[in-house]
Amino acid sequence: MLLRLRSIPGLQISENVPLSQCTRFGVGGPARWLVDAVSEAAMTATLAALREDGIPHTVIGGGTNLIAGDTGFPGAVVRYTNTTIEIAGETVRVAAGVVLQDLVDKTIAQGLAGVETLTGIPGWVGGAIYGNAGAYGHSIHERIRSVTFLEGAHVRTIDNSACEFRYRESIFKRNKHWIILSAELQLELPAAAGLIKAAADLIETAAGIRKIRDEKYPPTMCCAGSIFKNLIFAELPEAVRARVPAKVIREGKVPSAYFLEQAEGKGMVLGGMKVADYHANLIYNQGGGTPAELRELISELKRRVLERFGIELEEEVQYI
């Protein structure tokens, strides 16, 4: 069935791969095929062949923010595994398959500022752009100059404004058939210091952030970080705004964890899935959890917040 695909250079094709191996939650049934494309040409040819042959397919990244189903996926799960990073002065060209931490580390080593606050966020660059990942008051969109993506058989490039970035949103989330290939970033060489001092300062900043993140989301924890998006305070109903203490509002947002805590979400357990005792917006697989349990727990948390506050939380996580 994949004869044409097997003739495309730059592909690695595996059969019946458990999606639990491709997602940080560690759950999910088998993908009929897992297809890794290492180049833009291979990715373009792969998706064209799958479309023409009528084979069901979906594209994923590092799988850190993804919930796969118990039954897996009946067709081809495709990943773009190009890991090229090119640096010219303050301009960085990065492929979507680059691990986000590798981008942070490499730019810091060059004394380039701008993405150091993203340290410790798991996943690949393509997924970070797709969901406009961020932390500590900054998001990746601030550094995006342009994004190159595949729309059908055509490779397109759009600038930052056309990406329609918002909090944890982008135009790519609303056009899931647009496949991110690469991005051009504009970073900065701190003008007030030499490269060695600048790099050392950036390393220190990133190390501090990494320590905090690792305490909250240990690297070995089977989780996706935050499950739900935070809420924009100004967009909440007036009655809800009146119930939110000023001290919990950060940068114009109310953490979803606040509403989840009020709804007694901390420590909830369903099968092998558990809401952290110390963070109500963190669900993790404590062993033997299933996708069905995870989805049910997410639904129950949403139900409780809706019942108590009349607002509906929106997931950051994505589903297959």
All domains of the chain in start order, with CATH: 3-80 (3.30.43.10), 85-212 (3.30.465.10), 218-319 (3.90.78.10)
Residue indicated by tokens 């949103």: 169
- At residue 196, the pLDDT reads 58
pLDDT tens profile 73-85: 999 999 999 999 9
Query: DSSP label at 193?
Result: S
Query: DSSP label at 83?
Result: -
Query: What are the residues whose beta carbons fall under 8 Å from the beta carbon of 77, sequence distance 6 or more?
Result: 17, 19, 22, 31, 33, 34, 35, 57, 58, 59, 60, 320
Amino acid identity at 254: V
pLDDT band at 51 (very low <50, low <70, confident <90, very high): very high
Q: Is the confidence at residue 192, as pLDDT, over 80?
A: no
Average pLDDT of every residue of the chain: 94
Residue 151 falls in the annotated catalytic set:
no
- Cα 274 to Cα 294: distance, rounded to the nearest angstrom: 9
Pick the catalytic residue from 39, 139, 226, 256. Answer: 226
Residue 316 falls in the annotated catalytic set:
yes
Pick the catalytic residue from 116, 184, 293, 316. Answer: 316
- At residue 206, the pLDDT reads 92
Kindly report the pTM of this predicted structure: 0.92
Pull the structure tokens for residue 157: 């490039």
Pick the catalytic residue from 32, 79, 168, 304. Answer: 168
Q: Is the confidence at residue 61, as pLDDT, over 60?
A: yes
- Cα 298 to Cα 291: distance, rounded to the nearest angstrom: 11
- The residues with which 78 forms a beta bridge, in sequence order, are 35, 59
pLDDT tens profile 123-180: 999 999 999 999 888 999 999 999 999 999 899 999 999 999 999 999 999 999 999 9
Q: Is the confidence at residue 195, as pLDDT, over 80?
A: no
